[in-house]
Structure 1
Amino acid sequence: MPDSKPQTIRELFLRSQRDLLTFLTRRVGRDDAPDLLQETFARYINRDAAAEIADPPAYLRRTAGNLVKDFARHRQVERKYFTDDGEAADAPSQMASAESLVDDARRALLLAQAVATLPPRCREIFELRVTHNLSQREIAERLGISRKTVEQHFHLAMERCRAALQQ
């Protein structure tokens, strides 16, 4: 039954906001529902004959439903034409910045210098572990030494590499 007394927009908003937001949230999600709620009321306010609407809450509900349909169509078009391939003209570059490339090169040089200063057996164990991805057991078997010795040499190598990077 339509309400016969005129309502202010504020009263209408306060009465309808919660129901409309719940309706919109179920259909488009929490992130987009508030925007569609705002657009629903903006369309009501901007309507030339808003005062002549017999049942404003029903009008708002219908407007919200139409906005949901428009929203779904818009998302469908976005999915069709705008793929997330990371190659959009205004998308951030996936390449590292010149600053980070210089920093990476400096760190690589410091690591190479630290590895070069390791004792020969320690450097060999470090390279087998890091470069060839061998386990401590595999290195111990290959070199004919105990796993504990491999562990100690690798630990020393890692300490020196960390120290070199902190310079």
Structure 2
Amino acid sequence: MKETLLEAIELFEEVMIYGTEHFIKSVQSPIWKEYSPEQIQTLKLLSAYDSLSNGKLAELQGVHKSAITARLKKLEEKGLIRTERAQHDQRAKVVRLTEEGQEILVASNTAINETITSLFSDEISEEELVQFVRTFRKLKDILQMREFNE
């Protein structure tokens, strides 16, 4: 099993590397011309978590706080995010998605879904897709339980 798991990890990494490069070149949406993949990822994280501190965003994206600060400044100037006081600690600040940010995220997700559908619709069977979804649901559940227990 260990050997198979190592192969799965290696394949996942390769799919992420080559898939990201190929995917970014394939998306034909004005949203993806105006906003960087990193900015879109920031919006996705804010949508998933509701609100995050700059430090937590930096941690989740694997970058230094200075990179997040610059990214957030651009998104705030475009009205896609807002900074406000944290409810649990009035000294702390958190970042939230605005309604405009949510609209950009919906448009981005639509473009992503259309691109992925066109890339893979004739390449992957329904059975393979069901197995893929089942496996990724399980991985998500495992990761969420680990996060909950930390």
TM-score with structure 1 setting the length: 0.31
Richer in strand (by share): 2
User: Higher Cα Rg: structure 1 or 2?
Assistant: 1
TM-score with structure 2 setting the length: 0.33
